[in-house]
Structure formats: C-alpha cells, structure tokens
C-alpha cells in the first residue's frame, strides 16, 4: 500500500501556533521506552495495541467501530467479506506516547504508515474525538482511496470527529462543543464582520483556501486554517449533503466544488454566515 500523501497531526487546544509537521516525524517505530504491559485487542474491523486500562481500550474500540459503521453508510461501501483490520495504538497517557514516539512535536494524535496513534486522557470530556479524526483519515485513505486536497481531507476528518455520538450512532453534521477545532469558535471573538476577521487572521477565506497549494506552510495560522477547513466542510455538508458527499467521493476538484456550490463570487460571504451560525450554536451551550 502506498504511503498516504500526508500524515495528519491533531492539535491540542493549548498549542496554537506550531510548526507544520510534515516530514518532521522521523522513525515512527516505537522506541524502547518503558510502558505498562501492552496487550492487543481485536474488534470486527480494528486491531488495537494498547497500554491503557481494559475498559478504556474497549471504549476506544467501540468508538472506532461506530465511526466505521458511519463511514460505510456515508460512502455507501459494500460490507467487506474479509474485513481488513485497521491498526490502532492507544497509549495510557500523553507522556507515555511522547516517550515512545520521539519527534511528535505538537501533534496530539496522528495517522501514519497505516497506524492511528493516540493516547488516553480520562480527564478529557471527549477523549476519543482525536481517535475519530485520525481514524477518518485512515478510512478515507485505506478503504475509500480518496485523493482529497488537504483542506478537504482535514475538513472531512473534523466533520466526523466533532460530531455527536448518541445511542451508538454518529450524527454527522452535529457539533460537540468540546472538540477541536470547535472550541476555537468559542475562544476566538468573531466580530460578525468577515473582512475584519479575515484581516486579523481569525479565519481564512474559502477563496484563499481553494487557491492555496497543499504544501504551503500554515504554521502561523494553524488553528485558523483548521477552523476554516472544518467550517467549509460543515457548510457544504449542511448546504447539500448529497452534493458534498458526491464531490468528496467522485470529483474532489475546485471546478467540481464551484459547480455544486457556486457561484464563487459569493462563496466567502455564504460560508462566513454559516460560521456565525455555527458559533451561535455552540456558544453558551
């Protein structure tokens, strides 16, 4: 299997502006760090290496299976006769993961070389949203082979990972407040004036994002980019979920996007209105 075009770090809420990590992570083989006795656990579609407590590991696997089911339904993929087991690693703590995987930099979770790595954090309200983010990248690449531009790849992963999970079902398009990058909508004081918010760097406009190359360095605007990537995906999904899905699965081009969601001249304004609605839906909840 070819190497994914990117690896996809997730960012902690405390680490706002840090270097782009592409190519930073050298040698993903686990070092000789000491950790609690690892065990492996299998579910229907996942193989989990874990040093976290059994109940937490089961919770992580359960969440991954919910995502898997949601992804298959969303993409319309036929059930696998011999399911390929996706590789997950769950470390008992952030410190343990950082010790085991030197070179992580600011990444809080990642998908790389066919493995999703994350750590357990029992104090977090929604610790598995990182896993859902990375595992969405994994499904998009390994199962659906989607050649998405970076903004759409990240936006799609965020669209799934911020979604609520209720009664063992992921409700795509819903929004949990305590997820990345949603919490930036609460923390960043949007003014209600798009030009001002773009000028001061709170957001990046879709027209600019659609003209950016995938390998530009976004270190100085990391969270603004993630917020904009996610809100673009959310805007397109909310505007016409069928057209958005069709674009993601079959026609992930700029022209294809404008054809479905044009006109281009008003895209920024329509997206910004949606961002404000998103903010209002989570602020004060």
Rounded to whole angstroms, the Cα distance separating 32 from 38 reads: 13
Q: Is the dihedral of CA 150, 133, 142, 1 positive or negative?
A: positive
Copy the structure tokens of residue 6. 């990117």
Which CB sits closer to Zn ion, 180 or 244? 180
Which CB sits closer to Zn ion, 146 or 276? 146
In the bound complex, what is the minimum distance in angstroms from residue 156's beta carbon to Zn ion? Answer: 9
Residue 260 sits at the vertex; the CA angle it makes with 250 and 72, to the nearest 5 degrees, is: 40
Which CB sits closer to Zn ion, 129 or 188? 129
* Residue, CB closest to Zn ion: 8
Which CB sits closer to Zn ion, 71 or 272? 71
In the bound complex, what is the minimum distance in angstroms from residue 133's beta carbon to Zn ion? Answer: 6
3-state DSSP assignment of residue 88? strand
Residues forming the site for Zn ion (CB under 5 A): 8, 154, 157
Which CB sits closer to Zn ion, 8 or 188? 8
* Cα 77 to Cα 133, 152, 195, 249, distances in angstroms: 20, 20, 41, 11
In the bound complex, what is the minimum distance in angstroms from residue 109's beta carbon to Zn ion? Answer: 8
In the bound complex, what is the minimum distance in angstroms from residue 233's beta carbon to Zn ion? Answer: 12
In the bound complex, what is the minimum distance in angstroms from residue 135's beta carbon to Zn ion? Answer: 10
Q: What share of the chain is helix, strand, coil (3-state, %, to 5)?
A: 45, 10, 40
């Amino acid at each position: 299997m070819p190497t994914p075009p990117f690896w996809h770090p997730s960012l902690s809420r405390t680490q706002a502006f840090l270097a782009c990590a592409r190519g930073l992570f050298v040698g993903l083989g686990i070092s000789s760090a000491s950790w609690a006795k690892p065990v492996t656990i299998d579910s229907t579609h996942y193989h989990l290496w874990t040093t976290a407590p059994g109940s937490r590991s089961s919770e992580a696997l359960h969440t991954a299976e919910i995502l898997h089911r949601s992804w298959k339904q969303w993409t319309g993929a036929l059930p696998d006769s011999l399911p390929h087991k996706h590789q997950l690693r769950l470390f008992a703590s952030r410190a343990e993961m950082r010790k085991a995987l030197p070179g992580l930099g600011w990444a809080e979770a990642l998908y790389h070389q066919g493995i999703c790595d994350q750590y357990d954090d029992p104090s977090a309200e929604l610790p598995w949203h990182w896993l859902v983010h990375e595992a969405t990248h994994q499904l998009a690449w390994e199962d659906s082979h989607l050649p998405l531009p970076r903004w759409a790849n990240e936006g799609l992963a965020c669209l799934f990972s911020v979604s609520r999970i209720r009664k063992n079902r992921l409700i795509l398009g819903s929004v949990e407040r305590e997820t990345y990058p949603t919490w930036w909508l609460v923390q960043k004081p949007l003014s209600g004036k798009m030009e001002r918010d773009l000028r001061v760097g709170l957001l990046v406009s879709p027209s600019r994002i659609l003209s950016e190359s995938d390998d530009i360095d976004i270190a100085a605007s990391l969270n603004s980019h993630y917020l904009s990537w996610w809100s673009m995906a959310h805007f397109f999904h909310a505007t016409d979920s069928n057209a958005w899905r069709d674009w993601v699965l079959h026609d992930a081009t700029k022209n294809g996007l404008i054809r479905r969601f044009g006109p281009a001249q008003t895209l920024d304004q329509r997206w910004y209105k949606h961002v404000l609605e998103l903010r209002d839906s989570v602020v004060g909840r």
